[in-house]
Structure 1
Amino acid sequence: MRKTTARPAAPGPVEEDVVDLLLAQHARIEELFLLVVGGTGQVRRDAFDALVRLLAVHETAEEEVVHPLSRTLPGEGGDAMVDERLAEEKQAKQTLKALVAAGVDDAG
């Protein structure tokens, strides 16, 4: 008699709440900022590169999913809130662009 083992089912799509995902990304962004500020050498450069990539993905998700939904909130608060976030994000993108251009090891 031949013994057979069952193979696990192929993994299906994982459903994750977008809010949970964005909150987890916020936590990871904070961790990476700490590594950039407190790190040195290759650890700092790797953290900076990961931070730049994560911020790009994160901001795109917010712009494509969260902001449009937020604008549909009842009352006038949604538009104002999104406009404030967009202004903050624009400033952050400009700062990040300057940091990328200068390099993470720049004294400034």
Structure 2
Amino acid sequence: MTNITLYVNMHECGHCMAVNTTICSGLCHTQDTNLRGSVGKHFLTQRGCVQRSVDYQAAKMPGCPTGTDPLFFYPVARQCHCAKCNTKRMECVHVTRRNTNRCSKHLRPV
């Protein structure tokens, strides 16, 4: 598991907030072959580090006007394993770390 910071912006509230969470990230042993017809599907499966279990935490955005729901939920990976990515249940992407801050000047870590 890897610690990351998500930047959450709710336009109705006029604030942006930094949320610290964990994601599954890393390399998995993958076998590939150029003998497609004779080795079976096992060798053609690309595996990645995916979540085995995930919880959702709630955070409250400060500065929301009356009548606006200030709560939002974000995922927190609890357990990871190497498996074929199920694109029906999750995003299967490569995460790159950037030091760019997509929020305005009002950041509040959760």
**TM-score if structure 2 supplies the norm length?**
0.28
Higher normalized strand content (fraction of residues): 2
Higher normalized helix content (fraction of residues): 1
**TM-score if structure 1 supplies the norm length?**
0.28
